[in-house]
Structures are given as structure tokens and as C-alpha cells.
């Protein structure tokens, strides 16, 4: 089973690297959205630092949604997904492996580039460190929740809009606690509570989201 899951992870990463569209589109969207705010609100450093936590987290949230439609669509179109459903390996573990590959391609690059964008918006070193930490914990939650929505809207006409309507309300707690942790550090307040809640959300998503996505895929393919 573990050999199969390693092969599946390697396969998804290889396909993503060959196409490069998911990585480039997600990164460009993230960079462009964050870079537009200094042009809109002005170059004042204090103002930019004040809005930076919300801007960075909203941009990361929206960027992570761009590739959700393609999480299962290619496997659905070529019949690979049906073979996964009848495989001897648990479907929830297959889903978790595909979500991991999706996060490595779309979420991890956002974490890596976020310090540069944080400096662009005037965040100090400690705030940038918490920004990276919150994104490192929070972006996998976005991918796990998004996978459930992607499974439910698989094969549906206009599924992209429906997917956004399904997952955006579920993203709100992650957005709130991720941005508030950075703001707490920036203003000299305690931030451990927000990080603990994000970690709890991640554990909960790791437990429930693969099972929910597997059920959604079975429903979509019936």
C-alpha cells in the first residue's frame, strides 16, 4: 500500500511539474494581488503594515482556490479516478496523498514566497516569521477543505463557482485566526492561542476531510 501511495504522490508531482500551470498561476496571482494594495492605498509604511496580515491571508486563500478544480478533474476525465475507487487501498489515504501533492505544488510555494511579500508590506522580522508559520499550518487546511468541495462539484457544469460558494464560508475561521496571529505579534500581544487553534483545525481536517472527500467522490461517480 505504501509503495502505491508513494507512486501516486510522485505521479501527481511529476504531472504538475510538467504542466507548470498550477504553480505559475497560483504564485503570480498571489504576488499580483498583494502588490496591488500598495498602489491602491498608498506607500505609507504604517498603513501597509496595518493591513498586511489580512491582505496576505486573503490573497493566499484566493490563490489556493485557483487549482482546486483540477485536483480530481484530470483523473476523472481519463478514468483513473474510477480505478482508484475500486483499488484495494483505502480511498481516504489515496485522497490524502493527492491533497498532499496539491499542497506541495500550490500551497508550499505561497509559504516560501510570503516573506518577500511581507517585507514589501512593511512587516518586521518577527511578524514575517509568524506569517510563514501560520501559512505553513493554515494552507494545508485550505487544501483539505477544498478537496471536499472539489469532490462534491466533480463533473458539475459551472463547478468552479459552486466550489467557491461551498468552501469560502469554511475558510473564514482559518482566515480569521491566521491573520489575527500576525496582527497580535505586530502589536506586541500574545499569539499562541491563534496558533493552537490553527493546529487544532489542521488535526481535525486531517481526520475528517479525507473521509468526507472519499464519500463525495463516490457520490459524484455514482
pLDDT of residue 128: 92
Query: What is the number of domains present in the chain?
Result: 1
Q: Is the pTM of this model over 0.75?
A: yes
Looking at residue 115, its pLDDT comes to: 93
The pLDDT of residue 159 is: 66
What is the mean pLDDT for each group of 10 consecutive residues in the chain (222 residues)? 82 81 84 87 81 91 85 80 80 90 90 92 90 94 92 76 86 93 87 91 94 88 75
Domain region containing 135: 2-221
The DSSP string of the chain is: -HHHHHHHHHHHHHHHHHH-HHHHHHHHHHHHHHHHHHHHH-S-HHHHHHHHHHHHHHHHHHHHHTTTTHHHHHHHHHTHHHHHHTSSS-HHHHHHHHHHHHIIIIIHHHHHHHHHHHHHTT--HHHHHHHHHHHHHHHHHHHHHHHHHHHHTTT-TTHHHHHHHHHHHHHHHHHHHHHHHHHHHHTT---HHHHHHHHHHHHHHHHHHHHHHHHHHHHHH-
pLDDT for residue 79? 77
Predicted pLDDT at 186:
84
pLDDT of residue 87: 75
Amino acid at each position: 500500500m505504501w509503495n502505491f501511495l508513494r507512486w501516486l504522490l510522485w505521479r501527481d508531482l511529476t504531472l504538475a511539474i510538467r504542466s507548470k500551470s498550477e504553480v505559475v498561476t497560483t504564485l503570480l496571482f498571489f504576488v499580483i494581488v498583494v502588490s496591488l494594495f500598495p498602489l491602491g492605498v498608498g506607500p505609507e509604511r504604517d498603513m501597509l503594515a496595518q493591513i498586511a496580515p489580512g491582505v496576505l491571508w486573503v490573497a493566499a486563500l484566493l490563490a489556493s482556490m485557483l487549482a482546486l478544480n483540477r485536483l480530481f478533474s484530470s483523473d476523472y476525465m481519463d478514468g483513473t479516478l474510477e480505478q482508484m475507487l475500486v483499488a484495494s487501498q483505502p480511498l481516504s489515504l489515496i485522497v490524502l496523498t493527492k491533497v498532499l501533492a496539491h499542497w506541495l505544488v500550490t500551497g508550499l510555494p505561497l509559504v516560501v514566497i510570503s516573506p518577500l511579500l511581507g517585507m514589501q508590506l512593511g512587516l518586521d522580522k518577527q511578524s514575517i516569521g509568524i506569517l510563514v508559520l501560520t501559512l505553513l499550518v493554515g494552507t494545508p487546511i485550505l487544501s483539505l477543505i477544498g478537496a471536499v468541495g472539489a469532490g462534491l462539484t466533480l463533473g458539475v457544469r459551472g463547478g468552479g463557482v459552486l466550489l467557491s460558494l461551498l468552501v469560502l464560508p469554511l475558510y473564514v475561521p482559518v482566515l480569521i485566526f491566521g491573520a489575527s496571529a500576525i496582527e497580535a505579534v505586530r502589536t506586541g500581544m500574545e499569539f499562541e492561542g491563534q496558533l493552537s487553534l490553527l493546529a487544532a483545525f489542521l488535526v481535525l481536517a486531517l481526520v475528517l476531510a479525507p473521509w468526507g472527500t472519499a464519500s463525495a467522490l463516490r457520490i459524484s461517480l455514482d
